[in-house]
Amino acid sequence: MATNRTFTMIKPDGVENGHIGGILNMITEGGFKIVSLKLTQLTVADAQQFYAIHSARPFFGELVEFMTRGPIVAAILEKENAVEDFRTLIGATNPADAAEGTIRKKYAKSIGENAVHGSDSDENAAIEGAFHFSGREQF
Q: Are 36 and 5 in contact (CB under 8 A)?
A: no
Please tell me whether residue 134 adopts helix, strand or coil conformation: coil
Does 118 bind ligand ATP (CB under 6 A)? Our answer is yes
Assess whether 19 carries a catalytic annotation.
Answer: no
User: What does 112 bind: ligand ATP, Mg ion, none (CB cut-off 5 to 8 Å by kind)?
Assistant: ligand ATP
Q: How many of the chain's residues bind ligand ATP (CB under 6 A)?
A: 10
Q: Which residues make Cβ contacts (< 8 Å) with residue 63, sequence separation at least 6?
A: 47, 51, 54, 57, 112
Give dist(CA 111, CA 115) in Å, integer. 10
Does 93 bind ligand ATP (CB under 6 A)? Our answer is yes
Does 59 bind ligand ATP (CB under 6 A)? Our answer is yes
The catalytic residue positions are 117
Which residues in this chain contact Mg ion in the complex, by CB under 5 A?
120
